[in-house]
Amino acid sequence: MGSANAASDFDRGRRIGKYEILTRLSMGGMAELYLAFLPGPGGFKKFVAVKQILPDVKRDEAFVKMFLDEARITAAFSHANIGQVFDLGEDGGELYLAMEFIAGQNLEQVLKRASKRELPIPIGFAARVVRDTALALHYAHHFTDPSTGQAMPVVHRDVSPKNVMITYSGDVKVIDFGIAKAKGRLNRTQVGIVKGTSGYMAPEQVKNEPLDGRSDLFATAVMLHEMLCGERLFTAPTDAGMMLKIVEFEAPSPSQVNQYVSDAFSAVL
């Protein structure tokens, strides 16, 4: 805890563009995420999450383009079940993205806590999470550019529990369209590189074939299966083994694993 507190103290008060940092929330392989606020007159504060590319990564042109894609695509989104992007800026040569601060936990954290406490995920909770996720994806899959009226369908490509936020007030928000594939996007996936989270990808994504909205719906169904059955659907010691399982796709009916899941609900899944 000491080192984390030291890092937080070091970041506190630092400015990224017009935003003042309160603390560092997380650090991934590509970017850092901070809790910050936009100060205003009379003590006004608008809290935001600021994502900043790490210095050693900004030289990676492909990643910078992917980062810009996320900003360009999601800044135009306006949906209650999608984390909102407010601002894209540059400060001292550093690119940053200001986003809606979502107070809550991601679904992965919820699932891990439930597993640790040996508590089943309530079926109603699972259905609500997936319903709201599906609403967010439907919006993205049928997105129309508000300035041109042109259809700009967006496939998330990385629907997984870590990218579904459950807020403390009970809302569900899909986040991180960073590897989304949209018409006219800047970043083109390199040939042979599969982007997504192992264990939640659709068979066509594993095979590096063309994707559409159904690929996201497959991943959403995998999440629902995991919530209903209390265990991951696709697991293997290696990524290659997991991908083989996905391609072969053999899934037990949730009603056979969980007696409280109806046959009708299993059929929908």
Q: How far apart are alpha carbons 97 and 106 in whole angstroms?
A: 20
> Considering only CA atoms, which of 95, 100, 101, 12 is closest in space to residue 54?
95
From 69, 132, 158, 176, active-site residue: 158
φ and ψ of 122, to 5 deg: -60, 140
Rounded Cα–Cα distance for residues 106 and 85 (Å): 18
181: closest CA among 172, 193, 173? Answer: 193
Residues in contact with 58: Cβ distance below 8 Å, sequence separation at least 6, in sequence order: 64, 93, 94, 95
> Distance between CA atoms of 184 and 219, rounded to whole angstroms?
24
224 with 126: CB under 8 angstroms? yes
Copy the structure tokens of residue 212: 């559409």
Q: Is 212 designated active site?
A: no
| Cβ count near 117 (within 10 Å) | 7
Catalytic center residues: 158
